[in-house]
Amino acid sequence: MNLLTRTEIEKLIEVQNQNCISLYFPMGQNFTDEKSKILLKNLVKSVESDLLDHNIPKKETDSLISPALELINDSDFWSNPSISAGVFLNGGNIDVIRIPFPVEPLHYIGPNYYLLPLFKLFGLENQFHILSLSQNNVRLFTCDFLSCGEVELEKIPTSLEEALKYDDFDNERQSHSRSHGSSGDGTPGVFRGQGDGRDELKTNLWRFVEMIDKDLHLYVKSKNTPVILAGVEYLTAIFKRVNTSYKILETEISGNVDNLSIQEIHQKSLPIAEKYYNSTVEKDLMRYNNLVSTDKTSSTIEDVASAAAKGKVRILFATTNSFVPGIYNPELDSAFFKEGNPDSEDLINFSVVNTLKTGGKIHILDPEKMPESKTCAALFRY
């Protein structure tokens, strides 16, 4: 079972077949293995019934669903459950994705996989950093809501001991020219020179944090990318006072995280990052509402799908569990509502996938938060 990453999503996007099958179900947390197995069994039965109802031969139907039936009896799969899972079947092949957030059980059959639930809690382009601070181990992570990777810090001391080995460390501490009582950003600070009366360790820690802040720009390329601090309060508090360049989020991961894995630190960061990016959703909704009734917006699904196919969508708002069957005709360069056609697919999913492909921003919202109370709406680039 693979982790949900942008790479995995992009791989699933490329799959096209007449009968691409997508299954979603919760597992772990309040769901026992048996309860999750029953959900998966019922979803597979529903797929089987739908395929037979659409005159797919029994032999072909059995071939399509057999990998999912084998999964039900796969002890390795159930021994390490994620919060939810997505199962994707195509021509006898199977891809299984761990999903780190709750999803509603559903099945879908179409010419492409149904990927909209994977976007539910976040826009995939949203990136953030985690800066983990301790005397013994400084770490920086580059993350989004799907993945988290550690950055190798070649130009920054990663421990107080390493910082003390710098030739100029003690000299800079003794001759530091910052004015008494200023931390560099207009807030009260500490004068770090001889006779300042401060404990030597505290003085060294302050300078250590200054050294981290000084060269962090080599790894945090954009000042608009938010940084979540992780660590004990006395170090994170120093960094907040020293920092003059980075967008440090108010909420942090408190306590020593030296012994936590990347995955554990990432999981602790997600609620903080989600809260921050939810505020960007409100700003994007305001942009949309300010342009309603102009040619820069639309909540007509055919218009939105057509625009998404052409790379015209700048921001897409959509909701889950709403299906609009239709087709996109590339020759006419237009999407059409079409129910009961074997080539039909969900036009909302089509819009989301094509917006991702062309670099647009995606917000999956609850129905009551959607613009104009629609299931899909878009703000256009032009």
Is residue 120 domain-resident?
Answer: no
Q: How far apart are CA 276 and CA 269, in angstroms?
A: 11
Which of 214, 246, 277 marks a domain boundary?
Answer: 277
Which of 277, 311, 340 marks a domain boundary?
Answer: 277
Is residue 16 domain-resident?
Answer: yes
Is residue 283 domain-resident?
Answer: no
Is residue 163 domain-resident?
Answer: yes
pLDDT value for 57: 95
Same domain, 248 and 150: yes
Would the CA dihedral through 339, 340, 345, 349 be positive or negative? positive
Mean pLDDT lowest among 63-77, 213-227, 344-358: 213-227
What is the domain extent for residue 174? 127-277
Same domain, 193 and 142: yes
Q: Where does the pLDDT of residue 177 fall: very low under 50, low under 70, confident under 90, or very high at 90 and above? A: very low
Inform me whether the pLDDT recorded for 187 exceeds 50. Answer: no
Q: Which amino acid is at 116?
A: L
Same domain, 27 and 82: yes
Lookup: tokens for 256: 């020593």
Length of the chain: 382
pLDDT value for 185: 43
Number of independent structural domains in the chain: 3
Which of 85, 114, 143 marks a domain boundary?
Answer: 114
pLDDT (tens digit, 9 = 90+) per residue, 223-263?
888 999 999 999 999 999 999 889 999 999 999 999 999 99
Same domain, 136 and 272: yes
Is residue 285 domain-resident?
Answer: no
Same domain, 272 and 296: no
Same domain, 175 and 82: no
Same domain, 306 and 352: yes
| Over residues 200-214, mean pLDDT | 89
Same domain, 273 and 162: yes
Same domain, 100 and 221: no
Same domain, 55 and 97: yes
The domain spanning residue 360 has which CATH number? 3.30.1330.30
pLDDT (tens digit, 9 = 90+) per residue, 305-346?
999 999 999 999 999 878 999 999 999 989 999 887 777 899
The domain spanning residue 248 has which CATH number? 3.30.420
Is residue 370 domain-resident?
Answer: yes
Same domain, 87 and 144: no
pLDDT greater at residue 374 or residue 351? 351
The domain spanning residue 108 has which CATH number? 3.30.960.10
Is residue 360 domain-resident?
Answer: yes
pLDDT (tens digit, 9 = 90+) per residue, 76-101?
888 888 889 999 999 999 999 988 88
Q: Give the alpha-carbon dihedral of 31, 6, 96, 109, to 10 degrees.
A: 100
Q: Please report, rounded to a whole number, the percentage of residues in the chain having pLDDT higher than 70.
A: 89
Inform me whether the pLDDT recorded for 193 exceeds 70. Answer: no
Same domain, 262 and 298: no
State the average pLDDT for the chain.
Answer: 87
Mean pLDDT lowest among 67-71, 186-190, 216-220, 279-283: 186-190
Is residue 286 domain-resident?
Answer: no
CA distances for 32 relative to 79, 87, 104, angstroms: 11, 18, 16
Mean pLDDT lowest among 100-104, 134-138, 168-172, 350-354: 168-172
Q: How far apart are CA 364 and CA 242, in angstroms?
A: 37
Q: Please report, rounded to a whole number, the percentage of residues in the chain having pLDDT higher than 90.
A: 60
pLDDT (tens digit, 9 = 90+) per residue, 93-138?
999 998 888 889 999 999 999 999 988 765 656 789 999 999 999 9
Strands of the 313-318 sheet, one edge to the other: 297-298, 376-380, 313-318, 361-364
pLDDT value for 359: 87
Helix axes of 33-53 and 58-72: crossing angle, nearest 10 degrees: 170
